[in-house]
Amino acid sequence: MPKQLFKDYFTFSHSERRGIIVLIILILVIISIRISYPYFQKKTNNGLIQFKKDIDEWEQSQVNVKKQIRSSKKIGAPSTHSNFNHKLFRFDPNTVTPEGMKKLGFKSWSSNALINFRINGGKFYKKEDLLKIYGFDSSDFRRLKPYIQIKQKDYNTSVSNSENKNFESSYIIEINKATESDFKKLPGIGFILSKRIIKYRNLLGGFYSINQLKEVYGIHDSTLFSIKNRLKTDTIEIRKINLNKTTVTSLSQHPYISSYMAKSIINYKKYRGKIESLTELKTNNIIPDSLYYKTIFYFTVK
């Protein structure tokens, strides 16, 4: 009798056994979650506490940085430039070399801006004029003011003669006619740069400005500054492209003209039949204003 009762209550079909197995698995999963939950909760809380601690430390570091900046700006406080062992000496901003500016502690962008200022004909007549230079701030001025010594002379006739002391002052070349040999005679221009200048000049058709030499790879502002008073340019020597006779392939080889722009110009010519004036290209937005005033030296429609 007991044996029969046991069979009645504990004998299960195949589907019932599968259901019991699934139920047991679910119970085990729930028990596991119940046991492990406090551990994960504690770990999460620890992570949040550490994150908040990191934030607090970062905020405190920012406060300390601001205090240091404020203290460094006080009059008489040592400048940040003094940490780099710069050599201070008397200099004239109209003639100081890039190497000299580096020794004095000029920022690289300030040095480049000063050289560009001089290349474009700018001059310094008083110490305060240095404040006009991009990146040269009041702290730099206070640090260097005692060493600024501007010589009263005509800077149109002399530009850092010491840079070219071994070079004849009478040697001047016309850059649209000069050969590789002519360019190699210039200080700072060797065999490689001479070849690059000639190659770029041939692609352009000629130079309308001495400053275009900066577009040649390897010629920096300081290099051009040291030779600028040895150069001149004659725009009559520029080889021009007739837009009514050229092709897309030929036009796109010009350094200032992209393939897309060359196609636009030729398509416009086909549509109009003939380009009557270069201003048509600017008016119809085929060439942007910034590029138009450079390309007018190289194009013709006659």
**Residues sharing a CB contact under 8 Å with residue 94, sequence separation 6 or more, in sequence order:** 118, 123, 124, 150, 151, 155
pLDDT at 162: 45
* CATH 3.40.190.10 describes domain 174-235: no
SS3 86: coil
| Average pLDDT score over the chain | 78
What are the boundaries of each domain within the chain?
2-72, 83-147, 174-235, 241-300
* CATH number belonging to the domain at 83-147, selected among 1.10.150.320, 3.30.950.10, 2.30.42.10, 3.20.20.70: 1.10.150.320
pLDDT at 50: 64
According to DSSP H, which parts of the chain are helical? Answer: 2-10, 14-72, 98-104, 108-119, 138-144, 180-184, 191-204, 221-227, 248-251, 259-272, 279-283, 289-295
pLDDT at 7: 58
pLDDT at 84: 47
Assigned token pair, 95: 């003639």
pTM recorded for the entire structure: 0.46
Q: How many residues does the chain have?
A: 302
pLDDT at 32: 80
pLDDT at 135: 73
Residue 137 CA to residue 120 CA, distance in Å, equals: 21
Q: What is the pLDDT along the chain (302 residues), one digit of tens a residue?
A: 555 555 555 666 777 778 888 888 888 888 888 777 666 555 555 555 666 666 676 666 666 655 555 554 444 344 444 444 577 888 998 888 888 888 888 887 788 778 777 766 678 888 888 887 877 778 888 888 899 988 865 444 444 444 444 444 557 889 999 999 999 888 888 889 999 999 999 999 999 889 899 999 888 888 888 888 889 888 888 899 999 999 999 999 999 999 999 999 999 999 888 998 888 888 888 888 888 888 888 998 88
Assigned token pair, 196: 């690059």
pLDDT at 205: 93
Residue 91, strand partner residues: 148
pLDDT at 171: 72
pLDDT digits (tens, 9 = 90+) for 63-111: 665 555 555 444 434 444 444 457 788 899 888 888 888 888 888 778 8
- Asked if 83-147 and 174-235 have one fold, the answer is yes
